[in-house]
C-alpha cells in the first residue's frame, strides 16, 4: 500500500501545479474532503469558491462537491443551480473549462443543463451509504485516462437520490458517443441488478458531456483518495485530470487554460 508521503510525490514536484476550485454551497458537506484530496493528498493548488462569488478567475478545474445544497429543497441541486457562482461555472464549462460534479455536484450539473438526464429518488427509497464496485467503461477521457478500460474501482456512495435516468434517445446518444464513464458492477465486473445500489438506468454511475470537459458521478472519489484510509482508487480520477494538463504544452504556467 502506498503511504501518504509517496502519494503526494506521484507527480514531479517540478511540474506546475493545477489550480482547483471547490465550490461551497450552503449545505455542502464534502467540500473539505475534495479540498483535502487534491490539495494535501495530491499536492495541487486548491481554493474554495463561495456560492455567492461572481468570479472563478485563475482556476483550471472546478469541483462541485457532494452534500445537500440548500437542504435539497424542491429537488436536489434545483436551487444551487441558480447560485451566483453557477453563472460563472456554466460559462467556464461552455468555454471548455474542466468541471467535475460529485454526488450533489452531479445533480447540480444536470439541473444546470451541463449534463443530460436527472437523478431520481433511489429505487429502494432509502439513503444508501457503502462502498461499491465501478467498472470503467471509457478510459479515453480527461477524467479516466489513468484507468484501464474494464478496470474495477472501489469507491463509496452516499446518497438518497442517485437513480440516474434519461430518455431512450439520450441513452442511445450516451452509448454511441462513449459518454458513459462508470457503471455499477459486482466484484467480477459483471453488470447486473444486484450490483445496482439505486436503480440507476443501465447501472450508470458517471457520465461526461459530449465535449468531454464536464463529468458527473454519484460515487465519491475524494473519499477514496487517501491510502491512510484504506482505499485510494478515487485518486485515479483526480490523477487523470492532472495528467491531462501535464500532457499539454503550457510551458511553466497553466494560468491561461487552452480550451478544446
Would you name the residues annotated as active-site residues?
Answer: 103, 220, 222
The C-alpha atoms of residue 244 and residue 129 are separated, in whole angstroms, by 31
Residue 217 makes CB contacts below 8 A (sequence gap 6+) with 100, 101, 102, 103, 106, 181, 182, 205, 206, 207, 237
* Cell, residue 50: 463561495
Give the residue among 69, 145, 152, 52 at the shortest CA–CA distance from 111: 69
25 secondary structure, DSSP code = -
Strand ranges inside the chain, DSSP E: 19-24, 45-50, 61-64, 98-102, 118-120, 128-136, 152-159, 163-165, 180-185, 204-208, 214-217
Bridge partners of 182, per DSSP, are 136, 206
* Cell, residue 4: 501518504
**Pair type for strands 180-185 and 204-208:** antiparallel
Amino acid at each position: 500500500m502506498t503511504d501518504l508521503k509517496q502519494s503526494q510525490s506521484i507527480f514531479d514536484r517540478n511540474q506546475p501545479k493545477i489550480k482547483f476550485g471547490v465550490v461551497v454551497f450552503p449545505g455542502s458537506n464534502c467540500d473539505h474532503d475534495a479540498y483535502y484530496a487534491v490539495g494535501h493528498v495530491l499536492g495541487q493548488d486548491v481554493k474554495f469558491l463561495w456560492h455567492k462569488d461572481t468570479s472563478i478567475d485563475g482556476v483550471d478545474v472546478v469541483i462541485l462537491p457532494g452534500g445537500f445544497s440548500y437542504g435539497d429543497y424542491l429537488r436536489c441541486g434545483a436551487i444551487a443551480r441558480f447560485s451566483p457562482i453557477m453563472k460563472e461555472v456554466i460559462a467556464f464549462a461552455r468555454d471548455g473549462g474542466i468541471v467535475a460534479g460529485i454526488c450533489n455536484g452531479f445533480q447540480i450539473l444536470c439541473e444546470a443543463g451541463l449534463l443530460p438526464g436527472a437523478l431520481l429518488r433511489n429505487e429502494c427509497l432509502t439513503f444508501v451509504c457503502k462502498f461499491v464496485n465501478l467498472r470503467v467503461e471509457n478510459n479515453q477521457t480527461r477524467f479516466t485516462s489513468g484507468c484501464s478500460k474494464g478496470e474495477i474501482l472501489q469507491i463509496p456512495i452516499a446518497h438518497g437520490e442517485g437513480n440516474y435516468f434519461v430518455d431512450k434517445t439520450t441513452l442511445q446518444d450516451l452509448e454511441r458517443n462513449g459518454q458513459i464513464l462508470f457503471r455499477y458492477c459486482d466484484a467480477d465486473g459483471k453488470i447486473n441488478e444486484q450490483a445496482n445500489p439505486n436503480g440507476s438506468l443501465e447501472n450508470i454511475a458517471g457520465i461526461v458531456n459530449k465535449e468531454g470537459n464536464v463529468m458527473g458521478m454519484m460515487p465519491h472519489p475524494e473519499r477514496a483518495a487517501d491510502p491512510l484510509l484504506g482505499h485510494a482508487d478515487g485518486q485515479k480520477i483526480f490523477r487523470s485530470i492532472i495528467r491531462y494538463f501535464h500532457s499539454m504544452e503550457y510551458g511553466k504556467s497553466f494560468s491561461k487554460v487552452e480550451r478544446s
